[in-house]
Amino acid sequence: MPVINFNVDGKPVSVDADSNEELLWVLRDRLGIHSVKYGCGVGLDGVCTALVNGNAVRTCITPVGAVAGKSVTTVAGLSDGTNLHPVQQAWVDNDVAQCGYCQAGQIMQAVALLNKNPHPTDADIDKAMAGNLCRCGTYFRIRTAIKQVAAGKYGGGQVPATANTVYSAK
């Protein structure tokens, strides 16, 4: 099997894997990153979302060969270990999570949205988040948290999509 090199949460990794193996299972089973969750397994619920070069992808249907040489960011890589990413802090402040299972994917999708569109309208938020399902129905709090970040409550400016870039909550 080929060795595939890429970055995860700011660190270089090399995996000896079939290039068609799904990124989700490489992250979870080979690299031990369990914050990326398994949901539907067919790219329909957004639970497994991570960023590849800043773009939201469904890791359950992304072959690891497609991320060779690229940067993968998981929810575990958003914080520097001390300070939360602004989107994470907004999630905490708004008590967004209920059972929490979908929330890593929701946060990563929100980061991707705000990285591309720092001031989304409600329609922009609904469109961007439409593929991330939440059985607990936390959609209103998700939208509130995204709007607070967009309004600059957590430092303003472009929301970082890469690991170890930290904004302080006001």
Instruction: Report the residue number, 4 or 141, with the smaller CB distance to ligand FES.
Output: 141
- Cα 78 from chain centre: 8
CB of 135 to ligand FES, least distance (A): 4
CB of 13 to ligand FES, least distance (A): 29
Cα separation of 127 and 86, whole Å?
21
CB of 85 to ligand FES, least distance (A): 18
For residues 72 and 28, is the Cβ–Cβ distance under 8 A?
no
Cα separation of 158 and 75, whole Å?
18
The amino acid sitting at 64 is V
CB of 44 to ligand FES, least distance (A): 14
E strand or H helix at 111, and its extent? Answer: helix 103-116
Instruction: Report the residue number, 17 or 87, with the smaller CB distance to ligand FES.
Output: 87
The amino acid sitting at 73 is T
Instruction: Report the residue number, 25 or 101, with the smaller CB distance to ligand FES.
Output: 101
Residues found near ligand FES in the complex (CB under 6 A): 97-103, 134-136, 138
Which residue bears the tokens 């700011």?
A: 10
Instruction: Report the residue number, 113 or 134, with the smaller CB distance to ligand FES.
Output: 134
